[in-house]
Amino acid sequence: MAFILSNIVSKTCVKSLEDKLLALSISASGTQIRERHIMNPPPRLRNPTWFTKKHRVVHNDEITTDNQEFVKEVVQDKYSNKDESPLLSEIAANAAEWQPTFKRTGVIARKIGIYPIWMKDGTKMTTTLLQVLDNHVIKYYTPEEYENSQPNKTRVMKKKGCLLLGAEGTDPSLLTKEYCGLFKNSGVIPKKFLARFFVSPDAALPPGTPINALHFQVGNFVDVRGKTIDRGFQGVMKRHGFKGMPASHGVTKTHRRGGNIGGGGEKARVWPGTKMPGHMGNRYRVLKGLKIWRINTKYNVLYVSGQNVPGDTNSIVTIYDTILPLRKPSNPVPFPTYLNTDEIHEEDLYDDDVHQFCDPTIEYNET
């Protein structure tokens, strides 16, 4: 009898121990899950007020080639802007005279590469090619409408309107119904990319207005905003350009480290903004004061100075008039945009200091 009782007690003790171990393992696993974190979290997306999801699930329906062509014709008839030229003539009749205090809209472009050009004195300069896509005005928000949609904004003295632009048309059947509803009153086909620009009330444009590369002039200065290339987690030498430690002479495993960050003294902490390893790239940056050296009117390409425009090749950037006070245009610019679409221009427009390949490289003076 005693043997049976001892056996029962031992079984109950073993079972209680197993339950405790199971509870400890569950709590430990729960703690491990809670402590997991992402080393490089993506930046938080702050969607604007007009943002609507544009992607939907595409179903592989069996549609014949004839039906596909018919659907394309219906889409073009529905979204084509048939009143484009009367619209531009109406804008030109009601346009105000340009003033330096006015702020025009910008454009959406694609970075397509870099290209060298030569000055007339023989110096070489590297330029970045920005192709202005088929930009159209989608909607205009008056200063009162935009202020009501942003209740937490501080009070602004010089109120400006908000102009919504779209670029690079796409097939509406691949988008959601809500996203296509943004383009209902504009008379243009739904666009892949949207951007907003703050403009003066006198520079407002009605929906459906096209904007091309002649919105800018050769010799003017612009600001370009784009998202930098995502480099991931990088050290201080690549991220901040540190020199690094010596390669030999007593240096032990600190060749590419940042060194002392000054943690002693009264502060005894790391100051905010200290240059340390971390995530590099994938942030919006603005390059200001870029001069336009050449404009190709056939393909709507702008040649701007420099080769450090933020973004990778084929990335989307936004271009607008520079905000630098010493580089703002002094001569009148197309306001509110270039409206003489029927005017015939040369295929390439050059700055006065740029050497054209059709010009002679050597000139002889008659004696």
Query: Tell me, what's the pLDDT at 309?
Result: 96
Model confidence pLDDT, tens digit, residues 187-231: 888 999 999 999 999 889 989 899 999 999 999 999 999 999 999
Task: Check if the beta carbon of residue 293 is closer than 8 Å to that of residue 354.
Answer: yes
Identity of residue 302: L
3-state helix/strand/coil string of 172-223? HHHCCHHHHHHHCCCCCCCEEEEEEEEECHHHCCCCCCEECHHHCCCCCEEE
Query: Tell me, what's the pLDDT at 361?
Result: 77
Quick one: pLDDT band at residue 80, thresholds 50, 70, 90? low
Query: Tell me, what's the pLDDT at 41?
Result: 66
Q: What's the rounded Cα separation, in Å, for the pair 185 and 342?
A: 25
282-317 exposure pattern, b = at least 16 Cβ within 10 A, e = fewer: eeeeebeebbbbbbbeeebbbbbbeeebbbeeebbb
Q: What's the rounded Cα separation, in Å, for the pair 343 and 194?
A: 28
Average pLDDT, the chain: 82
Model confidence pLDDT, tens digit, residues 12-70: 555 565 565 545 444 444 444 455 556 666 666 666 666 777 776 666 666 777 877 88
Query: Tell me, what's the pLDDT at 28?
Result: 47
Q: What's the rounded Cα separation, in Å, for the pair 229 and 291?
A: 23
Query: Tell me, what's the pLDDT at 266?
Result: 77
Torsional class of 300: left (φ above 0), alpha (ψ -120 to 50), beta (otherwise): left
Residue 174: pLDDT above 90? no
Does domain 65-230+280-350 fall under CATH 3.90.1010.10? My reply is no
List the single range of 21-25, 77-81, 174-178, 317-321 with lowest mean pLDDT.
21-25
Residue 191 token pair: 């666009």
Quick one: pLDDT band at residue 78, thresholds 50, 70, 90? low
Residue 272: pLDDT above 80? yes
Residue 181: pLDDT above 50? yes
Query: Tell me, what's the pLDDT at 59?
Result: 64
Model confidence pLDDT, tens digit, residues 220-265: 999 999 999 999 999 999 999 999 999 988 999 999 999 988 877 7
Quick one: pLDDT band at residue 73, thresholds 50, 70, 90? confident
Query: Tell me, what's the pLDDT at 276?
Result: 95
DSSP state at residue 354:
B
Q: Which residue has the tokens 């121990």?
A: 17
Query: Tell me, what's the pLDDT at 83?
Result: 44
Model confidence pLDDT, tens digit, residues 320-330: 999 999 999 88
CA 240 to chain centre: 23
Burial class (CB in 10 A: 0-12, 13-18, 19+), 219: middle
Model confidence pLDDT, tens digit, residues 286-317: 999 999 999 999 999 999 999 999 999 999 99
Please state the φ and ψ torsions of residue 92, each to the nearest 5 degrees: -65, -35
Q: What's the rounded Cα separation, in Å, for the pair 231 and 243?
A: 19
Q: Is the peptide bond before 336 cis (omega within 30 degrees of 0)?
A: yes
Q: What is the mean pLDDT of residues 168-177?
A: 86
Model confidence pLDDT, tens digit, residues 84-139: 445 666 665 567 788 888 999 999 999 999 999 999 988 999 999 999 999 999 99
Q: What's the rounded Cα separation, in Å, for the pair 195 and 197?
A: 7
